[in-house]
Structure 1
């Protein structure tokens, strides 16, 4: 019985691995410090990507405002045609319309010269759209002019 107690005491001292645990702890703290250093290096990259996306958003908005201004200019032309009196001859109406379209084409050419080479291709596609819209408005104006001619003929016969 007395020998068994001595053996239990010796096994208890061997089972305590406190010294190895204290040596493993500084290794874990070193790995945590390394992960923090890599995180701080990755953060400026994410902020650069956000700044680039903001610059592209401002360019997209400027293109949208230009297209809205063009649509407003075409709307005012159509309203001016409706408010013109019927007593004016047809020849003066066609001359005024040709002058208004010329000024619009000149303003588009100056805007393309001021912009950079990268945006010129985008503006060319927009200019083709405005040309197609101007053609559609011309066909509508011609149909209106033919209608007024028919009305003037009917009043003359009466």
Structure 2
């Protein structure tokens, strides 16, 4: 009996040491590599949107103004990349009283919204494409009333995915 107990405790000890080593490797090597890779993917997505590879219909043009990509690591935003038009100051126009409204910074709104999403992506590593325009999903799935924009986001994501390379090829 004594031998069996010693053998079992030796196995349990080795298992614990192995699990600890794997966790350390994941946290110190694998996770940073994955995050760096996803930052690259996020930049590719933003570049594709900014490059207007897929023409955004005039009717839905502000989808581009309100778009960003975030990378989350265990609920914390590690990176945020807004489109070029989201970071430009944009006049909100005059109010009914004729007074000038404050400038709108799209990237600030997107960053705040992406921070709020940290509870949804609280564990693991995530790449999140975000549009602050409430009808972005509907335009992508159904198109606009003028029949424009259907499949816009799908096309962008599919193009970037098609050009991804394995981590070891970077």
Q: TM-score, normalised by structure 2?
A: 0.30
Higher helix share: 1
Bigger Cα Rg? 1
Q: TM-score, normalised by structure 1?
A: 0.32
